């Protein structure tokens, strides 16, 4: 009998600045939530996969060294503990690993978890971290390369080729904020206008400061098991219909086409494998951490014609109540940037939407979700299509 893996339990911590909450506290909390939500017993978990935690290198090492097996009282019932790091694509990589292991019979129930505590870094320390992570050290760091330059390069080139404006970038930002306002765990939940975004200072032209990310503390977790095992204990499992990806580069400055980055190729492969088209997608859980990428991806993935994404966001289609909700978790800009784990948050949100448990953010009849990720310095393009029924 073919084993089919499902996502069956989720957990999440509020994202923000919590000085008294250690990353271990976050990790235990989200893991316990996910196990409980899965309906499984603690001892049913036989595999633990942790995402990286960048702010605390010793906690990060602990995650690979089975600390969570100890802290969650899973000793002797866990076959394997490991860590999987693909930067911002970590959620995708962990999901693929967990699904494969379960379907191959190498695991029965995989606990996947992430916890991050970025607020221990000062503002300048945060800039310094993101001026090293994913930036080529021998040839690019010496000229002052910074992470914010990446979406800025995309924005400049995209605006040059399509006539889009900074206002389009602001519309994306505001759309994501509207979702975060409905998300109890998001860091930034106050109303935001296009005017406020455009009046904020320019940091890396044409990116204004309110288009950028603030680092937060947070985490999330999920459990993958077989459809059989979930029966009777979790009545709303979520299925992966397809995944597709391509790895383009290490250095961002080596992308040859910043307005495409092979997203169309990856989307077409994901659609084909799932036997759907863009019009079948109910929600796009897009995580790229900056608004300029939204304009590119929505076009390349087939939701808007070339050069028309700004108009699409302006129309309200991507906002609560719109025809094609995008980033209902608020995106990194409004949810808060928690490093490698935003992709896990987007997955947790996808599961809630497909179960009908997204509260005020619930998209009516959400049945098919397209989720994106990219890791490192936008090294790759990853798409996962999820559904509430088997495909």
Partner 1 sequence: MSKTTKTGNFAADWWARVSAGERIVQKCNSCGSLQLHPRRRCNSCASDQLDFEAVSGDAKIYSFTEITHAAPSDFVAQMPYVLAIVRLIEGPQILSRIVNSEASELRCDMSVKWTLAPVGDRMLPCFELC
Least distance to partner 1, CB of residue 315, Å: 27
Least distance to partner 1, CB of residue 168, Å: 17
3-state SS assignment for residue 332:
helix
Strand order, beta sheet including 239-247: 239-247, 380-387, 368-373, 283-285
Least distance to partner 1, CB of residue 305, Å: 21
Dist. CA 122–CA 195, nearest whole Å: 28
Give whichever of 149 and 385 is closer to partner 1, judged by the CB atom. Answer: 149
Give whichever of 216 and 219 is closer to partner 1, judged by the CB atom. Answer: 216
Tokens coding 22: 């250690």
Q: Report how many helices (DSSP H) and strands (DSSP E) the chain contains, helices first.
A: 14, 11
Give whichever of 76 and 256 is closer to partner 1, judged by the CB atom. Answer: 256
Give whichever of 118 and 241 is closer to partner 1, judged by the CB atom. Answer: 118
Residue with the two structure tokens 């999901």: 95
Strand partners, 337: 215
Query: Is 102:391 a contact under the CB 8 Å cutoff?
Result: no
Sequence-distant (6+) residues with CB within 8 A of 196 are 210
Give whichever of 77 and 254 is closer to partner 1, judged by the CB atom. Answer: 254
Least distance to partner 1, CB of residue 53, Å: 22
Least distance to partner 1, CB of residue 213, Å: 11
Give whichever of 233 and 253 is closer to partner 1, judged by the CB atom. Answer: 253
Please name which of 300, 321, 303, 304 lies closest in space to residue 363, comparing C-alpha atoms: 321
Dist. CA 141–CA 30, nearest whole Å: 36
Task: Please report, as ranges, the residues that interact with partner 1 according to CB under 8 A.
Answer: 124, 127-128, 131-132, 136, 138-140, 142-146, 148-149, 152-154, 156-157, 160-161, 201-207, 209, 212, 251, 253-256, 258
Dist. CA 210–CA 203, nearest whole Å: 10
Give whichever of 104 and 202 is closer to partner 1, judged by the CB atom. Answer: 202
Least distance to partner 1, CB of residue 37, Å: 38
Dist. CA 130–CA 88, nearest whole Å: 13
Give whichever of 105 and 142 is closer to partner 1, judged by the CB atom. Answer: 142
Rounded alpha-carbon distances, angstroms, from residue 372 to 92, 128, 160, 267, 332: 8, 27, 25, 10, 13
Least distance to partner 1, CB of residue 161, Å: 8
Dist. CA 77–CA 100, nearest whole Å: 20
Least distance to partner 1, CB of residue 153, Å: 4
């Amino acid at each position: 009998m073919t084993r089919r893996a499902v996502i069956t339990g989720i957990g999440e911590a509020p994202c923000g600045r919590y000085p008294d909450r250690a990353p271990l506290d976050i990790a235990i909390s989200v893991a316990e939530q996910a196990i409980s939500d899965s309906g499984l017993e603690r001892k049913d978990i036989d595999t633990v996969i942790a995402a990286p935690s960048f702010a605390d290198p010793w906690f990060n090492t602990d995650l690979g060294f089975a600390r969570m097996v100890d802290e969650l009282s899973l000793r002797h019932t866990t076959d394997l503990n490991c860590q999987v790091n693909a930067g911002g694509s970590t959620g995708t990589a962990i999901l693929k690993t967990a699904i494969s292991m379960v379907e191959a019979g190498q695991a029965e129930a995989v606990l996947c978890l992430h916890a991050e505590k970025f607020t221990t870094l000062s503002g300048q320390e945060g800039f310094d971290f993101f001026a090293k992570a994913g930036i080529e050290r021998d040839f690019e760091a010496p000229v002052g390369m910074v992470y914010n330059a990446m979406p800025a390069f995309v924005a400049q080139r995209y605006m040059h080729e399509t006539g889009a404006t900074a206002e389009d970038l602001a519309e994306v930002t505001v759309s994501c904020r509207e979702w975060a306002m409905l998300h109890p765990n998001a860091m930034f939940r106050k109303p935001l206008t296009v005017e406020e975004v455009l009046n904020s200072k320019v940091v890396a032209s044409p990116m204004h400061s309110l288009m950028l990310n603030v680092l937060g503390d947070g985490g999330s977790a999920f459990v993958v098991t077989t459809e059989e095992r979930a029966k009777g204990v979790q009545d709303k499992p979520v299925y992966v219909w397809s995944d597709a990806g391509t790895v383009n580069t290490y250095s961002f400055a080596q992308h040859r086409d910043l307005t495409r980055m092979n997203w169309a190729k990856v989307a077409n492969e994901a659609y084909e494998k799932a036997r759907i088209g863009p019009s079948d997608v109910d929600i796009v859980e897009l995580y790229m951490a900056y608004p300029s990428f939204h304009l590119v991806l929505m076009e390349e993935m087939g939701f808007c014609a070339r050069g028309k994404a700004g108009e699409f966001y302006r129309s309200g289609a991507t906002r609560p109540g719109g025809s094609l909700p995008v980033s209902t978790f608020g995106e990194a800009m409004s949810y808060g940037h928690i490093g490698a784990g935003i992709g896990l948050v987007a997955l947790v949100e996808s599961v809630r939407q497909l179960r009908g448990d997204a509260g005020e953010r619930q998209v009516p009849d959400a049945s098919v979700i397209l989720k994106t990720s990219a890791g490192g310095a936008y090294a790759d393009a990853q798409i996962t299509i999820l559904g509430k029924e088997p495909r």
